Structure 1
Amino acid sequence: MANYKYPNKASFFKFVFHASQIARNPIPFHKMMFGEYGDTLSIRRFFAPPVILTRDAGIARHTLQKYHRRYSKSKLQTRFLSRYIGNGLLTSTGDYWLQQRRLIQPGFHREKIRNLIGIINKTIDGQVQAFETGVFQELYPLMNTLAFEVVSKSLFNYAASPEVLKRLQVIIETLQKFTVREMRQPYKRFWYNINGEVKHHLELTRESRAIINTIIEERKASKDRHDDLLDMLLNAGYEDGTKMNNAQLIDEILILFVAGHETTASALTFTLFLLANHPGELRKARAESLALKNGEEALETLPRMEHIKRCIEESMRLYPPVWVMDRISTKDDTIGEYSIKGGTLFGISIFEMHRNPKYWEQPETFDPDRFLSDDSKRNGAYMPFGAGPRLCIGNNFAMYEMMLAVNAIIHTFDLETCTTEVKLNPLITLKPANVELKFTKRA
């Protein structure tokens, strides 16, 4: 029998004792455990290999990048999440995932995304001009609508009515909330089946898929060219010349909606919250924004938004939208001094790694200038879009969108906040819960 060596072992009963707290918000519990046991710890399970919880960048790189073939996504994503949002890039694994990634990747290369910049910028300007001014308002719903509109227009351009897209937005948000409840409270799954909640949410899944299928069929019947992401997906061909069927298209479109708007909405909310609380950084970002020429093509302005970009990068360090990742070892493996058994589940806390004092000076401080050089990224402890072959396919899209959105907002408005603390709601993505901002039109 192999001699396995695991990191510092924490009591399983400690997790049981804190179960209700973990179900509400696991981040404070993770922080406490890392403070008590160090950067990596293990929790023994009954009849299964231990769980490893880590904020160590070396272990993150080992599982996500260097030896990624020895690890796969856990059933939490491949089984439970895929039940509601399909078997797309986020939830698929193995050869099928690789096939889909190779098919879709070219559509997200920088040059392809640059063709969408006009649509993105026009959509952002329309949303920003409609902001209510002079009153404190919840920021996340505003950013959520903005980001959803950008994804909708980029995916479908003008192929769907606002009412249909709004219904799709409501369904996707409802499904995500229920999925998180299922994953965090597995002991209630039986009850969710009995009381009809699973059935209700599966009906919502079918409705969302029907909406997207109608859009796809209408586009196929049309001879118009839109140069949007739907055109790209419809025209993408496998090596044998075949194309995705409607079920595959729906899977990938649902994933793009889920991954492409909630993460961006959260990152924008956190960034504007931080800028409103750091007037000096806001002044530097606004000076950069005002230096851009009016009427200049958005594509030409992006390279000169250097400080704005750093503010977004630092915001995603402090509040990474993808705050935790899981992997499960498919075989026995050695990681540094540890020897682990196949079937070991890893929880990689990106949130805690981004605040680990081993990698960051003054890790709790908002300091965009730490990204003046690439050293902060080279330390291997910065992974806001993931890492390795499963690095977020839309990372360039997201950065361009966020830079244009922040630029438009600070160019148009003064920002005022009434809070210095943000409440975190870690669902599938990290969401802010209590950020209020007041927009005042600049003279």
Structure 2
Amino acid sequence: MERVEARPVPGAPQGGQGPGAVPEADLTALHTVTTGTVLRNRKRILKNPLPFHRENFERHGHTFRVQIGLGSPVVFTRHPDLIRHILQKNHRGYSKSTLQTRDLAKYIGHGILTSEGKFWKRHRRLIQPAFHKEKLEGLLGLMFQTIRAELASLPEGREFDVFPHMSDLAFQVVARSLFSAGDLRRDMRRLQQITQDNQEMLIREMRQPYLVWWFRLTGRIRRHLSLSADARSLLDTIISKRVASGQEKHDLLDMLLAARYEDGTPMTRAQLIDEVMVLFTAGHETTANALSFALHLLACNPEVQDKAAAQARSLDWERTPPMALLQGLPLVRQCVEEAMRLYPPVYVIDRVSLREETLGGQRFPKGTTWLLSVVELHRLPQLWEEADAFRPERFASENPRRPSEHFYPFGAGPRMCIGNNFAMYEMVLALGWMLHQFQINTPVRSLEIQPLISLKPGQVPLSLIPRP
């Protein structure tokens, strides 16, 4: 794990100057990082690939290529024009890589996160209405009730690691929003552990592809696939009980059960379980990560924390409806957004070209894998004033330079995360409630980070002092 400072980040391009234009992508002299270089750095890459990426960006410019053996090249970029081209302007010319559609899918199934083409489009259209703002507003009361119940167990007056608490919080919010029931904690603990174990296995497969044969031979992959089968069986039992009860809870599960394709047919049970698996996998860890980073950054920046706390404490949390609370916490929302800029949960996005294309004067063959570095884009000093500083006011609605084109915490384009509003509502309510209750302190100025499926912190030591 690499130690990363809260402000500034060692080794990051220093952003003291104001933003300026990034030169157009000229890829005619694109540098290729060789197989030998990758192999010499394999231990570092396995532990944390981000410093290796940073070194190559600083050495070779905003885009470089990695060639491993005789396979198709992998191109890394943090260039804003290339990222916008791939995610938005020419999104039809690219697909998700097999890391999602095959490797991740074998553990969580073929939901909208892991599917492509017509199948993805059909299911995205089916599920999207459940995550419209007006639908989510009906879940806010349950969401806030869960947040308050989970945060009530936080220790006070002593140092503790907040990340496990944020992980439990985010998982329970997803579980309660899906199932409403209050007697599923044991099942949800089991599901949470399976999700974490399978993610760790997938990371090993991704960063040590030369050992996949060994993982298969020793039965490690088979054991994790068995865990996935256990998780699916657990969810199938929960769904069967709901259907048999005939009750309507008006939760996400009800919305998914009621969803219909264009021909009027519902999802199959297997497909429904796939989509629920995706919601648990993608819906809880990214939120837990972002909340943990936000709490650490606020603890390191007490002036910002005091302003955000004053805003939170000006509201009547007992009588104000949750949507009105959200509308009364603009600075808290800005703090969440700035935390996701500095530490984006989705720190890299992968795409594969579906046809040959010439970009920046360089020809790229069909099948080229692109790795779009969101974490590097979010810290480019040419795009962000004081790029490494925690400055939530840059996201204020009245800021004429409010960033949007280069801010991708939930991805961009048609494949943007379907649960972005759900996640933002949850994070703003949780952070606002904590600021209303506590002064947040930390003994450290730096955190260890673990770039797994999402960008995860190591330990996040905090202490909470009740506000009078």
Q: Same fold (TM over 0.5)?
A: yes
Residue type of the partner of 1:375? R
What residue number does 1:358 align with?
382
Aligned pair 1:252/2:267, yes or no?
no
Within the candidate set 193, 200, 207, 1:184 is matched to: 207
Q: How far apart are the structure 2 equivalents of 1:213 and 1:25?
A: 36
Aligned pair 1:61/2:84, yes or no?
yes
Of 74-83 and 288-297, the range deviating more from structure 2 = 288-297
Residue type of the partner of 2:362? Y
**Offset, 1:358:** 1.8
TM-score (norm 2): 0.92
Matched-pair contact (CA < 8 Å) for 2:91–2:413: yes
Within the candidate set 276, 300, 303, 2:327 is matched to: 303
Listed one character per residue, the Cα deviations across residues 134-192 of structure 1 (whole Å, up to 9, x for unaligned) are 22111110100000110000011117521111111111111111111111111111111
Q: How far apart are the structure 1 equivalents of 2:91 and 2:187?
A: 39
CA RMSD in angstroms comes to: 1.3
What residue number does 1:429 align with?
454
**Offset, 1:419:** 0.7
Map 1:407-426 onto structure 2 (within 5 A).
407-426=432-451
Unaligned runs of 5+ in 2: 1-26
Aligned pair 1:325/2:349, yes or no?
yes
SS in 2 for 1:348: strand
Q: Which has the higher contact order (CA 8 A, sep 6+)?
A: 2
Map 1:22-421 onto structure 2 (within 5 A).
22-158=45-181, 161-294=184-317, 295-372=319-396, 373=399, 375-378=401-404, 380-421=405-446
Matched-pair contact (CA < 8 Å) for 1:62–1:335: no
Listed one character per residue, the Cα deviations across residues 378-412 of structure 1 (whole Å, up to 9, x for unaligned) are 3x211000000100000001001000000111111
Matched-pair contact (CA < 8 Å) for 1:86–1:254: yes
| Gap change, CA 1:374 and 1:122, over 3 Å in 2 | farther
Of 179-188 and 267-276, the range deviating more from structure 2 = 179-188
Within the candidate set 1, 6, 11, 2:34 is matched to: 11
Residue type of the partner of 2:431? V
**Offset, 1:198:** 1.1
Q: How far apart are the structure 2 equivalents of 1:6 and 1:23?
A: 28
Of 298-307 and 204-213, the range deviating more from structure 2 = 298-307
Unaligned runs of 5+ in 1: none
Identity in percent: 43
Q: How far apart are the structure 1 equivalents of 2:183 and 2:305?
A: 37
Q: How far apart are the structure 1 equivalents of 2:266 and 2:422?
A: 24
TM-score (norm 1): 0.97
**Offset, 1:218:** 0.7
Divergent runs of 4+, >4 A: none
**Offset, 1:374:** 6.3
What residue number does 1:439 align with?
464
SS in 2 for 1:49: coil
Matched-pair contact (CA < 8 Å) for 2:35–2:69: no
SS in 1 for 2:66: strand
Residue type of the partner of 1:284? K
| Gap change, CA 1:34 and 1:357, over 3 Å in 2 | same
Of 369-378 and 266-275, the range deviating more from structure 2 = 369-378
Residue type of the partner of 1:170? Q
Residue type of the partner of 2:366? G
| Gap change, CA 1:241 and 1:318, over 3 Å in 2 | same
| Gap change, CA 1:14 and 1:85, over 3 Å in 2 | same
| Gap change, CA 1:376 and 1:33, over 3 Å in 2 | farther
Q: How far apart are the structure 1 equivalents of 2:68 and 2:285?
A: 33
Residue type of the partner of 1:424? I
**Offset, 1:12:** 3.0
Q: How far apart are the structure 1 equivalents of 2:401 and 2:412?
A: 17
SS in 2 for 1:189: helix
Residue type of the partner of 1:86? G
Q: How far apart are the structure 2 equivalents of 1:279 and 1:195?
A: 51
Listed one character per residue, the Cα deviations across residues 291-332 of structure 1 (whole Å, up to 9, x for unaligned) are 112421111111121110111100000000001111010101
Matched-pair contact (CA < 8 Å) for 2:28–2:360: no
Of 190-199 and 205-214, the range deviating more from structure 2 = 190-199
Q: How far apart are the structure 2 equivalents of 1:159 and 1:7?
A: 56
Q: How far apart are the structure 1 equivalents of 2:426 and 2:30?
A: 41
Q: How far apart are the structure 2 equivalents of 1:377 and 1:362?
A: 13
